[in-house]
Amino acid sequence: MIDLTEADLELLFKLKPAIERNIDKITDGFYNSVLGVDKLEQIILEHSSIERLKQTLRDHIVEIFDGSVDSHYIAKRLTIAKIHKKVGLEPKWYLSAFQNLQNEFIGVIYDEALDDRERLKMVRTVTKLLNLEQQLVLEAYEKENIREKEEQYEMVKNELKQKIAEFSGELIDLSIDTNAAVEQLVASSNEVNDTFRRTASSALDSQEMAKGGRELLSKLNGQIAHIFERTTEMERSVSELSQFSRQIQKIVGAVQEIADQTKILSLNATIEAARAGEHGRGFSVVAQEVNRLAEDTKNTVIRIGELTAQSGGLSAQVVNEIRKVQELTESGKLQSDETSQLFSDILDTMHSSTQEIVTAQEEIRTLIHTIEGIGSTTAQTAASAEYFKSATANL
């Protein structure tokens, strides 16, 4: 596209003597402008020296005007471009420096050429060749940039692949460990849930047993109350019996007095019958019978009195024992009432505990469901990490 011809190359070769005569002026002017930029001066002093670079530039300029553009010429320009890229010379500095070099060439042309037409022709030819050099160098710059970017991309990609692979591996390991922990936690939670279920069942059984105990105590209270009532009635009956015994003793005493009086009367009758002689014999027999009857009556009454006295003593003992039974019954009733209240408190506590156990069971079931959901999510994460790792390896 730059239309560089053999005639242009011949014209460049004709300019070579003039360039060689002004080579020091050209290089000095070029580096005076270059060294005015701190960044460029820093690059030069860091990688070479000014005198050394001036000599390199002299050789390079003379070579431009040899009139030969071949593979060796192009390869050398590409090498120069790589060196510029390596030392950090940016394209903008290269283009600016080339513009200064072009200005120096044009200055020499205007000093050497005789007319404007010849100057224009020389300027165009020099511009073409400098443009070719710029194209070669910029293309080399671009290729080197692309190569570096590709290397950087590959390096970043490989590093990223490695990091992703490491992360995926760690994520897989973590998912496996987490899944194992979740499974163990689910198993432990199930065991706790089973324990709660058994505890709830035992609590319900105990609650039923406590209800049964309270009912038995209630029946026992009723029976104790009934016994208390019966003993009270028995005490009253025995008391009445004691009263009857005392009344009988009074009657026995009266009868004994009558028997004693009858015996006295019989004795008197016997005496009178003896006085009457033969006439009182029948009356004497009657008196003897009355005496015997009175004696028997007395003995019987004494026996009845003794039995009545024994009955009274036994009645007193029975009343005393009944009162002891009543006291024991009353004490048993109080203890039964306390035990019944204790059973009621136990039932209330067990009811509350049972409700808490049922609530805990529901919460544990919810926890198990949540843990299983975590396990499922962890398994999906592990599968995604494995897929991600495989996909990364194929990049």
- Whether residue 188 is predicted with pLDDT greater than 70 in this model: the reply is yes
| Vertex 308: Cα angle to 302 and 313 (nearest 5) | 130
| Mean pLDDT to the nearest integer, 133-156 | 81
User: Helices 71-87 & 116-276, crossing angle to 10 degrees?
Assistant: 40
pLDDT at 115: 84
* Backbone torsions φ then ψ of 110, nearest 5 degrees: -65, -25
Query: Alpha-carbon dihedral of residues 259, 263, 265, 267, nearest 10 degrees?
Result: 180
* Backbone torsions φ then ψ of 114, nearest 5 degrees: -90, -35
| CA atoms of 40 and 95, how far apart (whole Å) | 13
Model confidence, pTM = 0.42
241 vs 63, more confident: 63
| Mean pLDDT to the nearest integer, 194-205 | 77
71 vs 94, more confident: 71
| Mean pLDDT to the nearest integer, 8-35 | 84
Nearest alpha carbon to residue 33 among 83, 107, 111: 107
- Whether residue 208 is predicted with pLDDT greater than 60 in this model: the reply is yes
Cβ-Cβ contacts under 8 Å for 225 (sequence gap 6 or more): 333
Most confident of 14-28, 90-104, 221-235, 275-289: 14-28
Write down the architecture of domain 6-166 according to CATH: Orthogonal Bundle (1.10)
Q: Output Rg (C-alpha) for the chain, integer angstroms.
A: 71
- Whether residue 385 is predicted with pLDDT greater than 80 in this model: the reply is no
pLDDT at 375: 73
Tell me the pLDDT tens digit for each residue of 242-290. Answer: 787 778 778 767 777 887 787 787 778 778 777 777 766 676 777 777 7
Q: For the chain, which residues make up each domain, given as ranges? A: 6-166, 180-393
| Mean pLDDT to the nearest integer, 165-188 | 79
Cβ-Cβ contacts under 8 Å for 135 (sequence gap 6 or more): 2
177 pLDDT tier (thresholds 50, 70, 90): confident
Instruction: Give the DSSP per-residue string, 357-377.
Output: HHHHHHHHHHHHHHHHHHHHH
C-alpha 266: how far from its chain's center? Answer: 116
Q: What is the identity of the amino acid at 258?
A: I
Structure tokens at 49: 């020296």
pLDDT at 159: 82
- Asked whether the beta carbons of 54 and 84 are under 8 A apart, the reply is no
Tell me the pLDDT tens digit for each residue of 115-141. Answer: 888 888 888 888 888 888 888 878 877
Task: Supply the mean pLDDT for the chain.
Answer: 78
88 pLDDT tier (thresholds 50, 70, 90): low
pLDDT at 73: 79
| CA atoms of 110 and 323, how far apart (whole Å) | 156
Q: CATH 1.10.287.950: does it fit domain 180-393?
A: yes
- 15-19 contacts at long range (C-beta below 8 A, 24 or more positions apart): 15/65, 15/108, 15/109, 15/112, 15/122, 15/126, 16/62, 16/65, 16/66, 16/67, 18/108, 18/109, 18/111, 18/112, 19/61, 19/62, 19/65, 19/105, 19/108
| Mean pLDDT to the nearest integer, 371-388 | 77
Instruction: Give the DSSP per-residue string, 281-337.
Output: HHHHHHHHHHHHHHHHHHHHHHHHHHHHHHHHHHHHHHHHHHHHHHHHHHHHHHHHH
pLDDT at 26: 84
- 241-244 contacts at long range (C-beta below 8 A, 24 or more positions apart): 241/311, 241/315, 242/312, 242/315, 242/316, 242/319
